[in-house]
Amino acid sequence: MRKILEEQLSDLHEDFAQMGREVAQAIENATKVFQSHDKELANKVGENDNRINESEIYLERKTAQVIALQQPVASDLRVLITILKASSDLERIGDHAVSVAHAAMRIGDQRRNKEIEDTLVGLSKHVHQMLVAIIKAYVDNNEEDARQVAKLDSESDEYLRDVRRLAVEEMQSDPEFVTVGSEYLVVGTHLERIGDYVTNVAEWIVYTNTGRIVELGPISSYKKE
């Protein structure tokens, strides 16, 4: 019985890590859409999101099945709960990547601001690096690395403040920039939220190791019971 449970946990670990890699690719593609306004790539981001959603559903169903049939002990149960909860965070990150791609297409060839876009690209690369690092921390079951990744979320907030400042200043000086500026604010908000969800995943890694639910980063994205 124990061997079966260990094999199932191993499969779930790999499926979760693969989902994380697909979500990281979605962020990377969304950034490219923002830079190039590539409609075909934007459509690909949306299509891939369907696969990410299916991965979450599969992990939820499989995790529930293992809990029901294998009667895991406390430490194994924490692992399963982490997969269940963190996969939901990954799915939401995928949703934000789709929203970034959609906003990029709405901007199209309208008047654009290089300084703001460079800041947004910097933010996107930052949260992408955070996600890649947290998936590695999950695979390695490294609590300390997870805590360090969560600390990086403060930089996401700084990026967003810079985007807001630059966009508002430009909109105040040029009313015709309001439409594009508003989209920049939307993109920045979606990217910053990705950092919040990465922090959530870090919190679940800590929970796996300690059994305690903690709040990491500058602000926890939602209050866990």
The domain 1-210: what is its CATH number? 1.20.58.220
Tell me what pLDDT residue 1 has. Answer: 61
Q: Are the C-beta atoms of residues 191 and 124 closer than 8 Å to each other? A: yes
> 3-state SS of 132-168?
HHHHHHHHHCCHHHHHHHHHCHHHHHHHHHHHHHHHH
Ranges under pLDDT 70 in the chain: 1, 218-225
Tell me what pLDDT residue 77 has. Answer: 92
DSSP class of residue 221 equals S
Tell me what pLDDT residue 112 has. Answer: 86
Tell me what pLDDT residue 173 has. Answer: 94
Tell me what pLDDT residue 39 has. Answer: 87
Domain range list for the chain: 1-210
Beta carbons within 10 angstroms of residue 40's beta carbon: 7
Outline where the chain has alpha helix (H).
2-36, 39-70, 74-107, 114-140, 143-151, 153-173, 178-210
